Amino acid sequence: MDKEQQMRAPVYEALEKLKKRRVVPFDVPGHKRGRGNPELVELLGEKCVSLDVNSMKPLDNLCHPVSVIKEAEELAAEAFRAEHAFFMVGGTTSSVQGMVLSCCKAGDKIILPRNVHKSVINALVLCGAIPVYVNPEVDVKLGISLGMQVSEVERAILENPDAVAVLVNNPTYYGICSDLRSIVRVAHEHHMLVLVDEAHGTHLYFGENLPVCAMDAGADMASVSMHKSGGSLTQSSLLLTGKGVNWEYVSQIINLTQTTSASYLLMSSLDISRRNLALRGKESFAKVAQMAEYARDEINSIGGFYAYGKDMVNGGSVYDFDVTKLSVYTRDIGLAGIEVYDLLRDEYDIQIELGDIANILAYISIGDRIQDIERLVGALADIKRLYSKDPAKMLNTEYINPKVLVSPQVAFYSQKESMPVRQTAGRICGEFVMCYPPGIPILAPGEMITPEIIEYIVYAKEKGCSMQGTEDPEVENLNVLAKK
C-alpha cells in the first residue's frame, strides 16, 4: 500500500475547494447551504450543512464516477486489497443486496447460513433466488449460531451443483468466524462465487492477529460496514470486488436501487475514514483489541457473567474469534440480555449495541476510552448485585433453525391472511419476524411456523426485545399464506 497516496482524500479535498469559491447555488438541495433552514444549521452546524451539496462537475457523480469519487474509490480498493471498491450510501444493506443481485436471478440457488441479516433475504425476495441453507451448529447454552462448517458447505455444494454462489457471514455480530479460506477454495473448485457479509469486519483489513478478511481469503465480493468499526458516518458502506469480477456489471446492478442524490457528507466520511484507517488503523485496532480483552477479563472476574472470546475456538464451527467483539452471556444471573440492555441504559446511562434473549454485545471501537470500559464493568457488577434472579425460570435460549417450504419471493407476494400469533402453528409465514438488532429473522417469508418458534417470539416480546418486520406493529398477529 502506497502510504503517500493514502494520505489523500479526493472527495474531501474537492469539497474544501468548492467551499472556498463561494459558489451561488441555483441547484438542489433547497436549503441552500442552510440559509433556508436555520434550525437545521443550529442542530448540525454551518460547516456540516454547507457541505450537503448536490453532484456537480467538480464533485463527480456516484452513479458514474469519473474524477474525484473514482480516485477515492481507487484509494479505498488499494487500502482494502480489492480490485475495485464502491462507495455505498444506502448502508451495508445496499452493499449486500448489490452482491446478491449481481450474481443471482430468478430461480438461481444460493448457499448461505440461515442466521443472515434480513438484507440478504430481502435480496432474495427482490430477485427470486432460492436459498439453500447450511444450518450452522448452534451453541445451545449461549443460544447463538456458530460458523459454517466447511464439510457442511461442501455437502450443500455437492447436493446443489447448480448453485451460483455461497454467502458467508464473517464475522457474525457476536464475533464468530468460519474457515473462510477453505470455504472459498471449495466453492471456487465448483465454479461458485463467494460473497461475504463483512458488516462487522472493517477492522480485519487493518488490525494484526485478527481473523482473515474476505479479500485476503480470495472471496469474490464483500460488503463492509465502514460506519460500524471504521469510523465513518452511519449509513456509509463499501462494496468490494475481487479478481475476475465484472465490476462494471456490478455498478449497473447497484444503480438499479441506489439513490441518484448521493450524500457528500456520507461520501466524504468514507474518504476520510479510509485515510485514517490506512495511516493509523494498525495501532488503533491494536488498542481496540486490548480494551476488549481487558473488559472481557474484568467482566469474567465479576462472576455470573460469561464474556466469551478465543476460548470458544474449536477449529470447526468456531474457526476463529474476533476479539474486538465484547459479547457477554447474561442468563446465569437470571436476566435476559435485553433486560440487562434496558437496565444499562435506563439506570446507568450506558447504551450498548444489542441485547437478545441470553446475551448482550458492547461494541468497542476506535472512539472508546478505558474509563468508559471501567464504567461498563462497574455497572454490570452493580446489576448482578441488585437485579439478579433465579435462572431456572428462563426459557431455553437456543436459536431455532426454521424449515423453508416456499421461496422468500413466492411467499412474500402470495395471498395472505392475518392470524393471532399463538394460532399460527403449522402455517407458512408470509412476512419477516425479527428482533432488531441483530436483525436476523426469527421467521422469514416461506418458513414453517412451529410451537417452539411461537414460544420464542412471545418470550422475546415479553422480555422487551424490539420486534420488527411484521405488518402488525404490535406483533400480535402474523401474516400467513392463505389456504387454497
C-beta separation of 291 from 327 below 8 A: no
CATH code of domain 3-8+61-276: 3.40.640.10
Q: Which grid cell is 372? A: 468508559
Of 236, 169, 161, the closest CA to residue 197 belongs to 169
* Terminal Cα distance for the chain, rounded: 60
Q: Under CATH, which architecture does the 408-481 domain have?
A: Alpha-Beta Complex (3.90)
Of 326, 418, 407, 328, the closest CA to residue 363 belongs to 326
Helix (H) or strand (E) holding 450: none
CATH code of domain 279-393: 3.90.1150.10
pLDDT of the chain along its 484 residues, tens only? 788 999 999 999 999 999 888 888 998 999 999 899 999 999 999 999 999 999 999 999 999 999 999 999 999 999 999 999 999 999 999 999 999 999 999 999 999 998 899 999 999 999 999 999 998 888 988 989 999 999 999 999 999 999 999 999 999 999 999 999 999 999 999 999 999 999 999 999 999 999 999 999 999 999 999 999 999 999 999 999 999 999 999 999 999 999 999 999 999 999 999 999 999 999 999 999 999 999 999 999 999 999 999 999 999 999 999 999 999 999 999 999 999 999 999 999 999 999 998 999 999 999 999 999 999 999 999 999 999 999 887 776 667 888 899 999 999 999 999 999 999 999 999 999 998 888 889 999 999 999 999 999 998 898 888 899 999 999 999 999 998 7
Q: Report the interhelical angle of 370-387 vs 337-348 (nearest 10°).
A: 110
What is the spatial distance between Cα 438 and Cα 148, in angstroms, rounded to a whole number? 18
Asked whether this chain's domains 3-8+61-276 and 279-393 adopt the same fold, the reply is no
Would you list the domain boundaries of the chain?
3-8+61-276, 279-393, 408-481
| Dihedral pair phi/psi, residue 221, rounded to 5° | -145, 155
What is the spatial distance between Cα 157 and Cα 110, in angstroms, rounded to a whole number? 10
Beta-bridge mates of residue 329: 306, 359
